Amino acid sequence: MTSLKCSKGHENPTGSRFCLHCGEMLYDSPMSQSIQPGQTLGDRYLVVRQLGQGGFGKTYLAEDINRFRELCVLKEFSPQVQTEYVLQKSEELFEREASVLYKLQHPQIPRFRELLRLNINNKGYLILVQDYVEGETYRSLLDHRLKQGMKFGETEAKQLLQQILPVLDYIHSLGVIHRDISPDNLILRKSDQLPVLIDFGGVKQVVATVASQYYAPGSTPATPMPTLLGKVGYAPPEQMQTGSVEAHSDLYALAATILVLLTGKQPAELIDNYNLQWQWRREVNLSPAFGEVLDKMLAAAPRERYQNANQVLQALNLTATNNPPLQTPFPQHISPQQTPAQQTGQTVPVAPGKSAPTPLPITPAPHYSQPQVKSSWLTPGKIAAIFVATVALGGLTYFGVSQITSRQDPTPTVTPTSTEPPVDPKFSAEERGRKERLKARRERLGIDYNFYVQLVNQIFSAKNPSLSGRTLSDEPQDADLREEWDKTASELLDKLSELSSDARRRLGTFTSADRDRWKVRVNDINVGSRSVYDLADAPFYQEFPDQRGKNFLNQPVGQVWHGFVFDKINAVIARSDFERMQFASGDTSVTRSGTFKNRDGKIFIAQLSAGQEMEVSLTASSRVLFSIYSPSGKTALLEDSTRRSWSGTLDESGYYEFVIVSTSSQSQDYRLRLNVENAAPPEPTVEPTPTPTVEPTPTPTVEPTLTPTVEPTPTPEPTLTPTPTP
């Protein structure tokens, strides 16, 4: 049996949180948190961040470095009791469950990749590797709607059932029962807006079985007890009481999930405590036939329920024929705010404490994380509600209907795929020529048409608040407005031309996943993400000064900011915007100087020790901003400052970051001098091999919650801090 040691070397039983000899906390020791971001497991999976933690272990986001850094999910199980018998039995049960998962080959189920057996710091781990699904859980979508006073409608509920029931029919045909269906375990996939079923309960059953039956060194299994899994209120009574599960068990949980989405209430709030019957009709008004379908799925007696998914589908088809759905408006503009505690962590975060983006005047532009409306959902009433600004460029342009194209896997499509409609021939010759020139220029820059229209709509609407609710037509009376729209488009193309061709092609596809990947990569060279954001903020705010202080990440203009970060990441990794400062033997000072061109910047790092006296001075104009960040990232000695010096005693050991960035389009000279007393030369470190380009594959967030940082000072994210090289 392995043991945990405190910093003084005292040995403690596995699972101890405090040292039994000196009382030191062991919970945060490296031994108890063996898997860390930046760690490579099995010589293949680079851990990006922890996604979630439950009673059965932790879940991590990782990159498969053998598959072009493709994203995947690692589900960890590390038995609290580390005996040979426990590990062997765990492995046997996991092998059996993995073989079941391996059989599941469905586009709406994350693909199982492999089972890893690892030993980290003398601790055994079993890790399931699965595909990563980028999207939002239905729990997240519901929570955000509730904040806006909205819930899911009947049409959406039926659509969800029609899309997920074939998945259940598939797994049930293979003898697999999910056991744990709930809003947390359904993800609305971003790439195609289909629901994806995650977190099969069989894995949890393995863990629970091991935990309950094989708990001590040399013990023999106790009399097997039923493994009770599922969420209270979602799982049917017999599953929670005896562990018995059948296909209708999943149908019961699915119906409970649908009612939660329709009412915004938890199951406990929908069940009468006296007779334990579902009382959902006091919360939502549904068509009678659809209500009957849900009631039968939720029948207390298993024999009275639908026995398979096909029966439910047939009943839904019958209700669709005999009872047209109620015309429930579809709340289109959804932008969930999520936290790392949510299971998938697959979000585009909104900075805490920030107000929601100001609605765009004509029709709000869609957020990239929102569920898109499929054409099959559109009814005449909905079309009237979501029909939006027609913006010249020939033909009609719809906000919120077109979707940024991406593949099912996490790697975005980075070439323009949307087709621009032809210019309307009834426009004047001057207007047709103007639009053709814009089209040719956009295509030459490699910018996706859908993204381009959304960005221009956002900026144009902000400039014309009086047009709120107005739809631009292709009639002569709107010719002046169309000309102004085209002028806005031309100005934006000027701004976008500053980005690299790679960044321009990716506009519309950047996600929080990319930011996670970038943070891991710069941490490899002991740079924090906040420093890179400083470099990107300067050119971005110069081009979009009206965005300063706003929460723009989920807006089209936020994609432009990501483009600037993308280019700065490449420059830092390639060492053109990054340099390590080292003291020559016997020296206590080091100096660097240079010239910044158009809003350039540079990050310098130096390995220093707590207790040393540091004096830093910068010679540069007031158009150059200066930041100094501590190794932990918790302290900014200076941040986006025009101060030119700092001196004091250092509180931390590690790599300090010195960020110099020009906010001017003119050349700016600088000279940085660092003096450190009592500075012994640091041990030589092995430089990580630089990677010349940023991989386009997105990685989804943590987090740190991202907030651009030039000014005003944003709500700070717990940025990924550089890990000192020993």
| Residues annotated catalytic, as ranges | 180
CA angle 718, 720, 721 (to 5 degrees): 105
- Are 672 and 603 within 8 A, CB to CB? no
Of 2, 257, 22, 279, nearest to 124 by C-alpha is: 2
> What is residue 654's three-state secondary structure?
strand
Of 396, 379, 359, the residue nearest 471 (C-alpha): 396
User: Could you tell me the sign of the dihedral formed by the alpha carbons of 271, 272, 277, 279, in that order?
Assistant: negative
CA distance 294 to 319: 12
Please return the burial class of 212, using the count of CB atoms within 10 Å of its CB with bins 0-12, 13-18 and 19+. Answer: middle
List the beta bridge partners of residue 677.
613
Nearest to 251 by CA among 124, 360, 161, 353: 161
**How many Å apart are CA 604 and CA 527, to the nearest integer?**
9
Neighbouring C-alpha atoms within 13 Å toward the C-beta of 62:
30
> What's the CA gap between 279 and 293, in Å, rounded?
15
Find, among 83, 74, 85, the residue nearest to 36 by Cα.
74
CA pair distance 82, 362, nearest whole angstrom: 62
* Three-state SS at 166: helix
Distance CA(447)–CA(416), nearest Å, equals 6
Q: How many angstroms from the chain centroid is the CA of residue 356?
A: 18
CB 154 within 8 A of CB 287: yes
Residues 6+ apart with CB under 8 A from 558: 552
Q: What share of the chain is helix, strand, coil (3-state, %, to 5)?
A: 35, 20, 50
Q: Phi/psi at 43 (nearest 5 deg)? A: 55, 25
Q: Which residue has the tokens 């608040």?
A: 465
Q: Please state, in angstroms and rounded to a whole number, the distance separating the CA atoms of residues 181 and 258.
A: 11
SS (H, E, C) 431-489: HHHHHHHHHHHHHHHCCCHHHHHHHHHHHHHHHCHHHCCCCCCCCHHHHHHHHHHHHHH
Q: Which of 566, 463, 561 is nearest to 514 (CA)?
A: 566
